[in-house]
Amino acid sequence: MSTSVVADGPVESYVAAFDQLTSDASTPSWVQSMRRAAFERFASLGFPTTKNEDWHFTSVAPIADQEFVLLASKSGDVRREELEPFTFGARWDTMVFVNGRFAPELADCAKLPAGVKVWDLASAWTKAPSVVDMIGKIASYDNASFTALNTAFMHDGAVIQIAKDTQLDRPIHVLYVTDATAAKGMMHPRNLIVIGRNSKATVIESYVSTTNAMYLTNTVTEVSVAEGATLNHFTMQREAERSFHVGTVEVAQARDSHYVSFSLATGAALSRSNIYTTLDGEGSGATLNGLYMIEGEQHSDHQTQVIHSQPNTFSRELYKGVLDGRSHGVFNGKVYVHPIAQKTDGKQTNKTLLLSDTAQVDTKPQLEIFADDVKCTHGATIGQIDATALFYLKSRGIENGLARRLLTYAFAADVLETIEVDEIRQSLERMSLERFV
């Protein structure tokens, strides 16, 4: 199947890879059609530039200038013991993907609780067509280059369905790991999470690496949270230091639902995290928290968007960044309130700690309010380690390095305390103490 797309510039290098993927006759025709439409849109949009308001502080030239190879078949040689540093010391139901492809021999999801079904996307096309029919209906690629690119190349990923009235007592962990085989490669995981009415679940997405190779991970997760349901969703980005990571989560929420997100970013040379949710049912709410800790020449961009589409909805956001070296952090939080969305209650906070004089951050809270009976606030602070607190600790015999680490941990502590999963909270507490040794 040959594409008729005419592309030039950086997009041209993706045409051959697209032809390679769409030549697979085993993929359903409707998937091929979706891929083709998405690739045509990607070719039309091209990569975003800093002229685009949403990308004003982040240049993707380091990605656009590379020619990545599509990892279209299973590769890599990751052993089970190599996964231990990334499992938080817990034995949860786990799906493992190596270099973007499902690795059933490493997975541990044979005994799922009642009401829970999981598939790898490549199998779900035929095994669960009524579920995956939702793909592409939550995450739009009309004006999103990387979502269009992901949709064009989507092949594997996690599909999770939680039946109505199901309460999970342990998380489901989706673990994406790359090894040296992924060097110069690109992966486009596509995930779908469907939470049934009045259900409650925790899903963890981890993106990690056992190598320091350069590669691209461009992931999209679509989430549907039904009436009265709650999803606790963790996205943990701990990629290789030379890699590139673009992650997008788009959520559709029904009446009285609650979407609780925690985003972590410590890896990748250049990373971008988009978390967008639409509160499309009265009484629904979103809680978006995040922590990014970067150093050296790392660049980490975080974008959130909460659309209040119905009355009596709420949103809470707390994002914190710790930056060292010559790193660059970006935070842009958007809250949009429709005219019908009276009684909206929204609060957004972004705080950044700069550990060096050469680190920098750009933060831009945005409120667009078209209703008159609302409570919406936002705030952003940027600062360095408190000299008085540092002097106090040193005067008590604590050496300078440890004192700075303790104060850095104290800065991160209040956002970490929002994590209800003990294993994750304790692991990230240790990380925040050890990150800037």
Please indicate, yes or no, whether residues 165 and 37 belong to a single structural domain of this protein: yes
Residue ending a domain, among 281, 315, 350, is: 281
Secondary structure element (H or E) that encloses residue 425, with its range: helix 422-434
Least-confidence region, from 69-78, 171-180, 294-303: 69-78
Mean per-residue pLDDT, 103-127: 93
Please indicate, yes or no, whether residues 71 and 213 belong to a single structural domain of this protein: yes
Q: Is residue 293 part of a domain?
A: no
Mean per-residue pLDDT, 220-235: 98
DSSP assigned state of 82: G
Q: State pLDDT tens for residues 396-426.
A: 999 999 999 999 999 999 999 999 999 999 9
Query: How many C-beta atoms lie closer than 10 Å to residue 386's C-beta?
Result: 13
Q: Is residue 311 part of a domain?
A: no
Residue ending a domain, among 237, 255, 281, is: 281
Structure tokens at 230: 């709650």
Q: Is residue 393 part of a domain?
A: yes
> What is the strand order of the sheet 172-178 is part of?
101-102, 93-98, 172-178, 200-209, 230-238, 258-265, 285-294, 314-323, 345-354, 375-384
Q: Is residue 88 part of a domain?
A: yes
Q: Is residue 407 part of a domain?
A: yes
Structure tokens at 83: 């996964």
Q: Is residue 309 part of a domain?
A: no
Predicted pLDDT of residue 365? 87
Can you name the residues that pair with 224 across neighbouring β-strands?
194, 252
Q: Which residues contact residue 383 at a Cβ distance below 8 angstroms, ignoring those fewer than 6 apart? A: 352, 353, 354
Predicted pLDDT of residue 8? 53
Interatomic CA distance for residues 43 and 59, integer angstroms: 18
**Is residue 1 over pLDDT 50?**
no
SS3 420: coil
Q: Is residue 58 part of a domain?
A: yes
Q: State pLDDT tens for residues 37-78.
A: 999 999 999 999 999 999 999 999 999 999 999 987 777 889
Predicted pLDDT of residue 21? 82
Please indicate, yes or no, whether residues 160 and 25 belong to a single structural domain of this protein: yes
Q: State pLDDT tens for residues 376-400.
A: 999 999 999 999 999 999 999 999 9
Residue ending a domain, among 245, 262, 281, is: 281
Please indicate, yes or no, whether residues 53 and 187 belong to a single structural domain of this protein: yes
- Short-list 371, 383, 377, 373, CA closest to 410: 383
User: CA 129, 201, 159: angle at the middle one, nearest 5?
Assistant: 25
Q: Which residues contact residue 223 at a Cβ distance below 8 angstroms, ignoring those fewer than 6 apart? A: 138, 192, 193, 194, 195, 231, 233, 249, 250, 251, 252, 259
Residues above pLDDT 90, as percent of the chain: 89
**Is residue 2 over pLDDT 60?**
no
Structural domain boundaries enclosing 19: 9-281
Q: How many domains does the chain contain in total?
A: 2
Sequential DSSP letters for 220-275: EEEEEE-TT-EEEEEEEEE--TT-EEEEEEEEEE-TT-EEEEEEEE---SEEEEEE
Backbone angles phi, psi at 423, to 5 degrees: -60, -40
**Is residue 4 over pLDDT 60?**
no
Please indicate, yes or no, whether residues 99 and 224 belong to a single structural domain of this protein: yes
**Is residue 221 over pLDDT 90?**
yes
Predicted pLDDT of residue 404? 93
- Residue 297 in contact with residue 266, Cβ under 8 Å? no
Predicted pLDDT of residue 9? 61
Interatomic CA distance for residues 196 and 187, integer angstroms: 29
Predicted pLDDT of residue 268? 98
Please indicate, yes or no, whether residues 21 and 159 belong to a single structural domain of this protein: yes
Predicted pLDDT of residue 257? 98
Mean per-residue pLDDT, 102-125: 93
Please indicate, yes or no, whether residues 275 and 421 belong to a single structural domain of this protein: no
Q: Is residue 304 part of a domain?
A: no
**Is residue 131 over pLDDT 70?**
yes
Predicted pLDDT of residue 7? 52
